[in-house]
């Protein structure tokens, strides 16, 4: 690992931590969301510097989309989205601080005490190819499971979030065509 990489890792790491702390100290919900976005983009940067360019850039891509959508919900569900009237929305702050502090201390002690094994094997030149071969090869089952989890999430989230069921759309006998939808839609209706 060269000097440039080390410097980059330091900068990205510090920025990620600062962003993470800002998430729980800022007042404005929009700023909170984008502090988290900044933190996770730095995580993507760290992953990229660790020679995983594909996963790193995909993390950045996904986090931007995810956090912008998250911002919509933050604004929708928080009573003080712009942080113009600061207020505390915490419970059991001391207990949480103690627990997370203890966990952090335990993790750090573990990190420095555990005799980590030496590096085994050499890195392939094309890590993108490596993850692809892994997902399409010996980790195929993982890939399939993840696919089904995502499908189930899409269906489940839609069912949970929507107010209207099929009887609202198609009438009591499910024979009403076209469906009675509040939004017109773009496919011939």
Partner 1 sequence: MTFELLLVLAAGLFCTGLFGALSQQSIVMIMMGIELMIGGVIVAAADFWYFLAPAAGSGQVVIVAAVVAMAVEMAMGFAVTTAIYRARQVDMTDMAEDLKG
Partner 2 sequence: MAEAGTWWALPAAPAMLLVFAVLAVAADAALDARNAGRRITAHTAVRPLLAVPRALLAQPRRLPAPDRLLWRAGVITVPVAAVLATLVIPFGNRVVADLSVGVVWFNAMEVLTWAGLWLAGWGPNAAFSLVGGYRFLALGLAYELPLMFALISAATGAESLRVTDIVGAQHGLWYAVWMPFAFVLYLAGVLAFSFLGPFAYPLGRDVADGVLGETSGVDRLLLQAGRWLWLAAGAAMAVPLFLGGGAGPGLPAWAWSLVKTLLVLAVLVWTLRRLPMLRADRYVELAWVVLLPLSVLQALVPALVSLTR
144 binds, among partner 1, partner 2, none (CB under 5 to 8 A by kind): none
Q: How far is the CB of 9 from partner 2 (least distance, A)?
A: 19
| Residue 67 within binding range of partner 2, rule CB under 8 A | yes
Q: What is the largest CA-CA distance in the chain?
A: 70
**Binder among 15, 54, 168, 170 for partner 2 (CB under 8 A):** 54
Provide, rounded to whole angstroms, the least separation between the CB of residue 149 and partner 1: 6
**How many amino acids of this chain bind partner 1 (CB under 8 A)?**
79
How far apart CA 130 and CA 110 sit, in angstroms, is 30
Pick one of partner 2, partner 1, none as the site partner of residue 120 (Cβ within 5 to 8 A by kind).
partner 1
The whole-angstrom separation of Cα 156 and Cα 151 is 8
Report if residue 139 touches partner 2, rule: CB under 8 A.
no
Among candidate residues 20, 18, 27, the one with its CA nearest the CA of residue 88: 27
Q: Hey, which residues between 101 and 140 contact partner 1 (CB under 8 A)?
A: 101, 103-104, 107-108, 111-112, 116-117, 119-124, 127, 130-131, 133-135, 137-139
- Binding test (CB under 8 A) with partner 2, winner from 17, 18, 21, 61: 61
Q: Which residues contact 94 (CB under 8 A, 6 or more apart)?
A: none
Alpha carbon distance 56, 58 (integer Å) = 5
Contact residue for partner 1 among 82, 126, 144, 156 (CB under 8 A): 156
Cα separation of 90 and 104, whole Å? 20
Contacts 24+ apart (CB under 8 A), 28-31: 28/81, 28/82, 28/83, 29/71, 29/74, 29/75, 29/78, 29/80, 29/81, 29/82, 29/83, 30/71, 30/74, 30/75, 30/81, 30/82, 31/83
Q: Is 18 in the site for partner 2 (CB under 8 A)?
A: no
78 to 117: interface string for partner 2, x by CB under 8 A: ----x-x---------------------------------
- Name the residues that contact partner 2, by CB under 8 A: 28, 30-31, 34, 37, 53-54, 57-58, 60-61, 64-65, 67-69, 71-72, 82, 84, 126, 128, 183-187
């Amino acid at each position: 690992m060269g000097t440039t990489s080390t410097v980059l890792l330091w900068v990205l790491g510090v920025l990620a931590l600062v962003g993470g702390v800002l998430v729980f100290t800022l007042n404005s919900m929009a700023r909170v969301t984008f502090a988290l976005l900044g933190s996770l983009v730095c995580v993507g940067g760290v992953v990229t510097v660790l020679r995983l360019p594909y996963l790193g850039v995909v993390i950045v891509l996904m986090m931007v989309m995810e956090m912008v959508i998250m911002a919509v919900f933050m604004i929708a569900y928080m009573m003080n989205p712009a942080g113009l009237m600061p207020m505390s929305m915490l419970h059991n702050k001391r207990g949480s601080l103690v627990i997370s502090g203890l966990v952090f201390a335990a993790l750090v002690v573990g990190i420095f005490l555990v005799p980590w094994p030496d590096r085994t094997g050499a890195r392939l030149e094309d890590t993108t190819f490596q993850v692809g071969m892994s997902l399409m090869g010996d980790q195929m089952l993982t890939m399939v499971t993840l696919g089904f989890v995502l499908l189930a999430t899409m269906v489940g989230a839609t069912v949970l979030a929507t107010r209207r069921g099929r009887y609202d759309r198609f009438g009591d006998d499910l024979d009403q065509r076209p469906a009675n939808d509040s939004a017109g839609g773009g496919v011939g209706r």
